[in-house]
Amino acid sequence: MVNEYDMSSFQPPPPWLCKDSVAIMGVGVCQGGRKMLQAMVPKPLVVPEDPQVFVWAIDYPVFILGPYTEALVTIEASYKGVLGAYMAFAYTSSPETVANGREFLGYPKRLAEITVREQGEAFVGRLERCGTHLLTLSVTRKKVGRFHEKDTAILKGPLYMHKIIPSPNGSNPPEVDEIVAYQVGVEKVHWVYEGQANVYFSPEGVDPLWSLNPLKLVRGYVYKFDAGASFKAEVVYRYSHTR
């Protein structure tokens, strides 16, 4: 039997469990600096003096809505001193996860074709959209490792989302305009490899991703994880112009 909540959203409510997911993660420094990144992050979120940018390609083989892949870019940011990362760009291979992510949390997800593969000593993630190559992220698996202390702090912190639901006529203030803090809740990391990371972004003007160029990756990881059971999300800020 479908309950009233399911009828209104057509999406299963959280928590959303995933198992045996494989993530490629590059950690970088944007040459445009803090000023450029702060312009991409909505206030009242604050970008620190020496912000890191995180680029991800993730394969989710076991998920409640079916297997899918995604590519993400997050920017180090905080709200009232709580360090986390702002979700600047998100792409997914699944229409169901577009709706799921947008409805509940405000993920800026867009449909795309994303692959995550092991190629020799490297793991490679590739993002294409509408037939155009937008991003390639690779990490060479050099050694069994662990996360850098600063990266661990951000991974354990919240993901900040700017959730917007426009007015039906488009001219009035949004029906919903708020900042959501989402705690991913990684329960288990099966293994972690460290290695050399490289990233390619689309040429200027093809997709907003190009605005991060040039991005210098300083380290990379590949890791396998389970997540979702300790899901937590809350609205931490509402903009006053909403209806």
Q: Is residue 3 part of a domain?
A: no
Q: Is residue 109 part of a domain?
A: yes
Q: Is residue 194 part of a domain?
A: yes
pLDDT value at residue 243: 52
Handedness of CA 139, 142, 147, 150 (dihedral sign): negative
Q: Is residue 4 part of a domain?
A: no
**What phi and psi values does residue 209 have, to the nearest 5 degrees?**
-55, -30
pLDDT tens readout for residues 201-214: 988 778 888 888 88
Q: Is residue 164 part of a domain?
A: yes
Q: Which residue stretches of the chain have pLDDT < 50?
A: 1-8
> Taking phi first (over 0 means left), then psi (-120 to 50 degrees means alpha), and beta for anything else, what does residue 230 get?
alpha
**What phi and psi values does residue 44 have, to the nearest 5 degrees?**
-95, 15
Residue 121 structural domain: 15-201+210-238
Q: Which two tokens stand for residue 240?
A: 């006053």
- Tell me the C-alpha distance between 66 and 18, whole Å: 10
Q: Is residue 100 part of a domain?
A: yes
Q: Is residue 6 part of a domain?
A: no
Cβ contact 185:160 at 8 Å: no
Which CATH number belongs to the domain containing residue 19 in this structure?
Answer: 2.40.400.10
> Total domain count for the chain?
1
pLDDT tens readout for residues 79-112: 999 999 999 999 999 988 888 888 888 899 999 9
- Tell me the C-alpha distance between 126 and 119, whole Å: 12
